[in-house]
Each structure stands twice: as C-alpha cells, then as structure tokens.
A and B are shown apart, each in its own frame.
Chain A
Amino acid sequence: MSVLNSNIPEGPIKDKWTNHKNNINVVNPANKRLIDVIVVGTGLAGGSAAASLAEMGYNVKAFCYQDSPRRAHSIAAQGGINAAKNYQNDGDSVYRLFYDTVKGGDYRAREANVYRLAEVSANIIDQCVAQGVPFARDYGGLLDNRSFGGVLVSRTFYAKGQTGQQLLLGAYSAMNRQINKGKIKMYNRHEMMDLVKVNGEARGIIARNLVTGEIERHSAHAVVLCTGGYGNVFFLSTNAMGSNVSAAWKAHKRGAFFANPCYTQIHPTCIPRSGEDQAKLTLMSESLRNDGRIWVPGKLEDAQAIREGKLKPTQIKEEDRDYYLERRYPAFGNLVPRDVASRAAKERCDAGFGVNQTGEAVYLDFASAIERYGKTEANIKGLDANDSKLVNELGTKVVEAKYGNLFQMYEKIADENPYKTPMKIYPAVHYTMGGIWVDYNLMTTVPGCYAAGEANFSEHGANRLGASALMQGLADGYFVLPYTIGNFLAKDIRTGEIPTDTEEFDQAEKEVKERLDFFINNKGSKSVDHFHKRLGKVMWNKVGMSRNEQGLKEAVDEIKQIREEFWKDVKVPGVSHGLNPELEKAGRVADFLELGELFAKDALHRNESCGGHFREESVEVGGEQDGEALRDDVNFRYVAAWEYKGEPSDAVLHKEQLEFNDIELKQRSYK
C-alpha cells in the first residue's frame, strides 16, 4: 500500500463530487471569521480562490511577487477556456469533455478529478459572465465558441486573443471587492521564501517584502499555493520572466511530494528564437491552428533555398508543400494535440526541412483561410467571389477580426506581415503538467498545505489540451478549494490565531536570512543568468521534446555540476535590504537547479512515451502507427510522486496507481 492516499470518494464517477460535497466537513459562517488562510499567487487559481474564500468569510492574506495581483501570468493565456456547455449543439457533454481531457492527457490523469473538472466547467462560464467578463458574442448576442486541438467539438469560449487577461481581470475584480471589504489583505511585491510547519501542519509562510527587503512572518490555519508552473527551468519559455518554482519547491522540501516533474508541454506555435540574447519566447495562440495550415517545403532543396533567402514561401507551389500534420493525421489534421504537433515539427526540422536561418521553424499559413473567408463574405454581400483581389481583402478583414492582436504581435516581433507571408513558428516550453502532488481535496502531503492551478499536478495527465489550463485554474479556485478546504479547517475553529513568535517561525526565518546573506556575500564571478542559461541549454537539449536514456543520465550529472558551480561562483550585486531583482533571481535559479535534476531523474525513470514525455526508446514499430509514441500501461500507469530527502538524487519515488473504470485505455490515435 502506497503512502499516498488520493481520497477519491466512493460511488459512480458522476456522483462522486456531489456526494463528497454532501459529506465533507463544513465550517459554519460565524467560525470562518476565526480562521485565516494564506493564498500565495494571484493568477486564475489564486485570485479566484482568494476571492471565494473571502466571500465565504475566511480571513485571507494573499501574496504576489508582481506589483499588482492583476499581472500574474495567467493574463498571458490567449486562446480560450473550455466548458461543456454544448451551446453549439455539436454533441458536447460533461462526459465528452472528461473523455477528451483524459485521452488528451494520454491516460495519466486521475479520472475522478478530471470528471469533476468537466462537471464544474459550465459553472465557470456562468460565473465569469456574471462578473462582467466580456466574452466574444455572435450577432444574436449569445456566446461564441471556437475549437481547439485534440477535440472534435467547439467548446472553447474566448475573448479575442486575450481570454486569460479577461478571466484574470474577472478574478481580480472579485478580489478587489473583498480587499475593499477588508476580507482580503493583499501583499503585493512579496515573495514567499519558505513554508512554516507547526506540529506537522502548514501554519504559515516566511515572505520577503521585495521593496524593503524585510523578512516577514505570516501565520494562518492553512496555506494555499497557486504559484504556477516551472517552465522557466528551461530559461527560455513562454512563461513570464518572474515565473518560478520556488514556492512549490519550498513546500516540497517541507514534505510535499512533487509529482511527474518531467511532464512538460512544449507548445507548437511559438515565434522562433532569433538570437543568443533572447530572454523570452512568445506564444501564438493555438486558436490560430483553427484556420492556419502548417507546412514545410516538400523538397529539401527548396528548404535550403528558403534558409539562404533565395526563395520566398509564397513562391513554392501547392504540390511542392508538405502539409505534414494533414498528411500524418487526417482525422485531426492541424488540430492534433500540442505534444503531437510539436514533435511533428521537430521531426521535419531535424530532417532538414526547417525554414529559418537556424533551421528551426515551420510555416503557419493563412492564405487558404483568407481565401475561404473572403469567398464566403463576397457571397454574403452579393459580390464577385471570383475577384481574387476583392476576396483577399474581405478575407483579410475576417482574419483580422478573429486574430488581429496576434497578427499585430507577430509583426512587431518578427518584422514580417503575416497577412501576406506565412508566419514562422516553432515549439517552445509553455506549461508544466507536473507539480505538487495533491489528493482529491487538492491537499498536498503536508496537512493544511493546498496546491491549485498549474502548481499542482492533477488534471492534465501527461499532456494538457488547449484552453484547459484556464478551466482548471478557475475550477480549483472558484469551485473546488472553497469546499474542500473546510474539511481540514473544521477542526480549527477553536485553535485561535497561530502565533508567529514560535521556534518554528524563528528557525524558518533564520534559514531564509542565511541564504540571502550567502548570496550577497558570495562575491563570485558569474551572474545568475549565466547559470540559468546553462541550465536551460541542458534541459532543452537533453530533457526537451525528445529524450533518451543516455542524454538524461548526462543531464542529471551536468545539472548537478552547474549547481555546484553556482553555489561557489554566483555573483549577486547590491544589498538584501531593498529592491534587488538579482537577489530575487538568485533564489529562484537556486531552486530551478535542484528541480532540474529531479526533472531529469523523473524523465529517466519513466521509460515509456506518454503525452509530452517522449522517450526515443519507446516508439511504435511498423503498422499504421509506425514511429508514434508508445505508452507502457503495464509498468507506468501511475503518478510518480517524489519525496524530498536532501539531494535530488536521493529523492524517493512513491507511486499512485491510476485506475481507469470509466474510460477504456487505448492508444491515443489522432490519425
């Protein structure tokens, strides 16, 4: 019997959540006033959790490292949010969303959690509309939908290419209402430095005021971590510059198991990198794959000529183009899931068909969408649908209305007009499915410490479908945590305020201060970024889109090496009592250097290909699926939860076996 208890309620899957809510412990409204809850992070999960918990009556303290809660990186999500509303009458249902998500995650997610997510998805849309989130609407005044990768229905709600922003501002406004009432005490520009445990339970945090550099003690009856993912372990990713693993990693060091660290989503449609000094990759929404067609030249010599600037993509004839996704996956075409699309792009580029100077780019082409929309518009307006100039003009307008801001963003970065020439795209690290292990109640292995949103490992298995991250973040924060946290807090109604002048807080604060002092006094010779970039290179080359045993073993050793050098030779200028961005980065990179090794170790142990984790040793041979990822359900149908034991190499593996009672395990075919 594993030490992990997922606490999945009994009963048929469709009744589990309802039964659980009916039977769970509840704190009465008068007693909620006596209970404090800390929420770290104010993205979709944290913002919605903080607002909901405060509405219920808890005293919430919320923390974010940005200068305002509205700036959390959820804001950058572009495409949309899924919900099983079936407004389009295309046969969508809770079950279908559940099924798509489990299948999309390559059968590495917990069935009960995913079903609950699908169940509450519709409520999210209702809630957001009631808050005044301006979703896209059709001329009838009703909500519009688009479709996303890996599914055959239109269930994605959107607000142009700024859905994350609008949803986050919705959660932020709900928070503002509670801040105004005094139910949320907001701490901007504060970073969580450690988790404090009292008698084995999470009872507070140590935080650093990033402006004054002051180290502060904050106590609560429970701590909720909504601190996002750790994609920045790759240095270059689509995450915000400040996104980090530190809060989650501190919890891990205090006893929270870290699950499936190797499950990383490499997003297929990002703007390719341009040079060595690049600090950040920019995503182009997956929604573009609704209308854009992905291709590379069919002939090697054409690809060569394009790379040398002798040929333009628009000069390549239709028959000389390889629409490789449509060719390989006729059923889903350009809308295959992200992991599949990314690997296919890498495969073509590795084979020499890449289309920019570095050979790491493929085309995303809107020419046929512009023509198609243009013709429809011309017909609607009673104009000549054979006039190609007119059709192009009309079609461009339609595409602009749908994706205008994305096209503008592309043009600013790449200095090319995507209405006239195909966009160049390449996969980039985008999201991490792995994270802190949580049970059905979203509680970690540290009692009283919860994790929600991207910070936890739960609903997406080994690969996340597009528009599901927003859904999960808000589901956790608005509809799951507010119920499940009561189950833990019910026993605390007589506890009273947790004092901060105790040995546990003393000790944690001392450790935090020592580490900060170490960085300032180290006076090494290399900047924090130097080490971060080196770590990123190892991660991308050996623990990236495609992994093998030898590379992973090398990566483990190399990361350890970089870590040792970092602690000897890192140089952090300035002082600790005041704003010092380099000092902030140093702490975060120190944690990435530990996580990176565990990440590689997890990838090495999982000798199967599933979702975003592709092991070159584990592929289908022969037949229709030749070369596709090969999952090993006999040996690896489990969640790998790692227990901290000092060095990452000493981490102990705990397995949570995954049971599939409502979905049949199948090969994930998008052919």
Chain B
Amino acid sequence: MNLTLKVWRQLNAKEAGKVETYNVKDISPDSSFLEMLDILNEQLINSDIEPVAFDHDCREGICGMCSLYINGEAHGPDRKVTTCQLHMRMFKDGDTITIEPFRSAGFPVVKDLVVDRSAFDRIQQAGGYVSVNTSGNTQDANAIPIPKADADKAFDAATCIGCGACVATCKNGSAMLFVSAKVSQFSLLPQGQVEKDRRVLNMVDQMDSEGFGNCTNTGACEVECPKGISLDNIARMNRDFLSASILSKDK
C-alpha cells in the first residue's frame, strides 16, 4: 500500500504546531498502524528529518499508552481497538491519513503526537482506591462473597486502560467515562462502600479542576472506547454523586 500521511508536528508545548505531509510506500496490510509509523520514522531518520514522536509501549492494546486521532477518530476507524491494534488492512491503497494528537485542555501536547495525560493520574490520586494497608492480615479473600453479576460489572468497569480516547472523542472534551469507570468499579464492590461518598465527590472535584468539559450524553465516548466501557458507568456516577452531595455525612 502507498499512503499519504498528514501528521501534526509540534516541537513542544509552547510552540505552535502544524500539519506536515509525508508519503510512505509498500506498507503491508498486515502491519499495525504503529509499525507503519515505525517505517515512516526510519525513512525520516534516513533523510535527516527528526522522526515523529508518538506514545506507545505494550503494543498489545492494554497499557493505554498509545493514542492518536486518526482521520477524525480516536484510535482510528476500527472499533474496540487501540491504535497499536489497528491494522493497515482498515485502509485502502492511495488513502490520505490525517494523524493528530488527542486534544483537550486537560491533555496539553508535549511534542508532535505525544500528550500529557497526568490529569488522569491526579484524578485517581484524589480517591481512586480502597484505603487498605498491606499487612498480610487482611481477611480471607472468600470472606465476603460477591454476587457474580456485581463482580462482572465491576470488572467490566475496571478494564478501562486510561488511554484518554473518551476525552479526545468527546466534543466537549469530557472525562466522565474515564472517571465513572473507576468510581463504578469500587461502587459495585463491597470493599469500596466505606469510602464511596468521599471518593466520588473528590474524584469529580479533581476532574472539574483539570479543565475537562461537561458531559452532554452524546455517547461518542462509549463508541470509541477501545475497551467498550459502558455509559451505564456515567449514569452510576451521576447517581452516586447526587446521593453523596445530598446525603453524605463526611462532607
């Protein structure tokens, strides 16, 4: 396959960026999208142009490090995959592909296609945990049976990889899907009940202070989420937040 790539180049957070056009040739349809970018970079190095910086690590679709807005969609046109699992067979010979960084006030660009997603870390630090110390003396793992349906739902929420596609996709740059996934995981498990109110209030507060937009329920995040995190989680967080705001004892 021969392709024309329009790639966002930006030296650092301060400089303005712009789109550059490159051509790549003889790409195998079985290559992954990032392997195609590897080839582009090898080509750029050989012609003394600085290679395109992009985030990636596990290349198995689980670490959440890869991002990219490809032809107007987070992680590209395929569904339920991250960019590293997107394969070139999704494109046609001769296609023009536009590649941009995830864009949000909460995700400032670091360089080229690399963005800073540490806002997500800070949201988790605000309460995305169960306060339990490592002691070796916690109660037996089977002491509290958890209904399978709840355990499964908690797991489904917990599969969020924190890639930020939801924010990138949302026309409002809202982080609700991400935050609600973490809130839901703990909200559904007995271990998470004690801190339930504090957690949702603190995490939402942190989310708001990071510059993310408001959810208007377009549902785009759910469609583009590589792990298929459901809007159910957002509804659950709305519910938890409301009840915590009104009823919580430890405000």
Binding site for B on A (CB under 8 A): 48, 51-52, 55, 66-73, 75-76, 85, 87, 120, 123, 125-132, 134-143, 159-160, 162, 164-166, 169, 172-174, 176-177, 179-180, 186, 188, 211, 238, 240-242, 274-275, 277-280, 282-283, 408-409, 412-413, 415, 478-479, 482, 527, 529, 571, 573-574, 578-582
Contact = CB atoms under 8 A, between A and B. Distances in A.
A409 B58 CA distance: 14
A141 B148 contact: yes
B141 A188 contact: no
Contact of B133 (A55, A76, A125, A180): A55
A479 B136 contact: yes
Nearest to B188: A134
A173 B129 contact: yes
B121 interface: yes
B138 A130 contact: yes
B151 to A, nearest CB: 4
A412 B154 contact: no
Given A176-B129, A277-B28, A412-B87, A129 B141 contact: yes
A166 B80 CA distance: 19
Given A176-B125, A277-B28, A582 B118 contact: no
Given A134-B155, A137-B151, A279-B38, A68 B191 contact: no
B218 interface: no
Given A67-B116, A73-B58, A162-B159, A142 B142 contact: yes
Given A140-B145, A159-B155, A70 B64 contact: yes
Contacts of B48: 573
Contacts of B215: none
Nearest to A53: B134
Contact of B46 (A240, A415, A527): A527
A669 B81 CA distance: 41
B81 A275 contact: no
Interface residues of B, number: 80
Contacts of B45: 527, 571, 573, 582
B189 interface: yes
Given A51-B134, A127-B136, A130-B191, A279 B35 contact: yes
Contact of A137 (B51, B58, B146): B146
Nearest to A48: B134
B125 to A, nearest CB: 4
A283 B35 contact: no
A127 B138 contact: yes
A238 B191 CA distance: 34
Q: 10 closest pairs, A vs B, by CB?
A: A141-B145, A173-B129, A134-B155, A280-B59, A129-B141, A130-B138, A134-B154, A71-B63, A137-B151, A52-B134
B179 to A, nearest CB: 13
Contacts of B30: 274-275, 415
Counting chain B CB atoms within 10 Å of each CB, the highest count among A126, A134, A135 belongs to A134
A278 B30 CA distance: 9
A577 B118 CA distance: 21
Contact of B63 (A55, A66, A408): A66
10 contacts: A71-B57, A126-B138, A134-B185, A136-B155, A141-B151, A174-B129, A174-B132, A176-B125, A240-B63, A482-B134
Given A132-B189, A165-B62, A160 B145 contact: no
A282 B60 contact: yes
User: For B45, B87, B139, which residue has the most chain A Cβ atoms within 10 angstroms?
Assistant: B45
B65 A66 contact: yes
B31 interface: yes
Given A55-B133, A173-B130, A413-B87, A277 B117 contact: no
Contact of B120 (A55, A66, A68, A76): A68
B57 A132 contact: no
B85 A413 contact: yes
B163 to A, nearest CB: 10
A242 B55 CA distance: 10
B192 A132 contact: yes
Nearest to A238: B60
Interface in B87-123: 87, 89, 110-111, 114, 116-118, 120-121
Nearest to A243: B57
A136 B151 contact: yes
B129 A131 contact: yes
